[in-house]
Amino acid sequence: MKRIILMAFGMSFIFLVTGCDDLIPTANYPYSDSWYEIDDSLAFLDWEYETGKEIEVIKIFRLNPDDFNISMQYSSANPKYISEWDEFIEDAELIINGAYFHEDYTPSGYLKIDYNRIGERIFDQNLSGVLVVENNILKIRDSGRDPLQSGEKLEFALQSYPFLIKNSVRGFQEDSGKIARRTAIGIDKEGFIYIIIVDDHRITLYDLMVELIKTDIDFVHVLNLDGGTSTGISIKKGSYEEMYDSLVKVPNVIVFSKR
């Protein structure tokens, strides 16, 4: 099962108040001297890659989970662009698009919001993963090893696919050649959360996986989320604001609010 792709009727919008020149490179990150610290809870890395003769950017945000309240929201009756979700959700500091969905905005896979199961669909658990939030702790679950069980009392759970990195190894060996904008979420061995956004539409999942491995971030898991026209992120952190708007309305978002 996969989401029916809707016709895009907007342009991706990028808005940046505080540029890199105004931010301080972090000295205490183990992976790169190119990280820029927004504050103690959030930093970002602009990872450059080549597409043909052009240089594009993978935007990687690193979050300290201790500094955020983490939740998910869903509405099939009133889906919204990421920019509209940003206006709708009070006190959100970071919002990203979440699960794959069908043309009627119902989830294509397993989804639970506030302990309530949304729909009855489920992806092949051997080929997918589950983003779980319980008691404000975010985990990425390998459902091939730890499958979802009927009647589980999960606070928030979002099933997606494929793993780009699973159990610290590459998620797949072959390139499908399919290009799109991308959204992914990862966790490293220290427990930090990574939000990964590619606004350029010319990258495959395989190439994204390869580039993430090149960063030398010690990922345990990186799970692909709904991408293409759904890809979007909103950040409001102090004087730093950035928006990559989705090109279509999305019914489900992952929300990081000030703790």
The long-range contacts involving 143-149, CB below 8 angstroms and separated by at least 24 positions, are 148/110, 148/122
Overall average pLDDT of the 143-148 stretch: 97
Overall average pLDDT of the 50-59 stretch: 89
Overall average pLDDT of the 23-48 stretch: 74
Q: Are 227 and 182 in contact (CB under 8 A)?
A: yes
Average the pLDDT over each of 11-15, 87-91, 163-167, 174-178 and give the range with the smallest value.
Answer: 11-15
Give the three-class secondary structure for 188: strand
Backbone angles phi, psi at 84, to 5 degrees: -75, -35
pTM score, whole prediction: 0.89
Token pair in block for residue 223: 């799970």
Instruction: Give the N- to C-terminal CA distance of the chain in Å, as an integer.
Output: 36
* b/e 188-201 (16+ beta carbons within 10 angstroms → b): beeebbbbbbbbbb
pLDDT in tens, 65-99: 999 999 999 999 999 999 999 999 999 999 999 99
Average the pLDDT over each of 32-46, 151-165, 228-242 and give the range with the smallest value.
Answer: 32-46
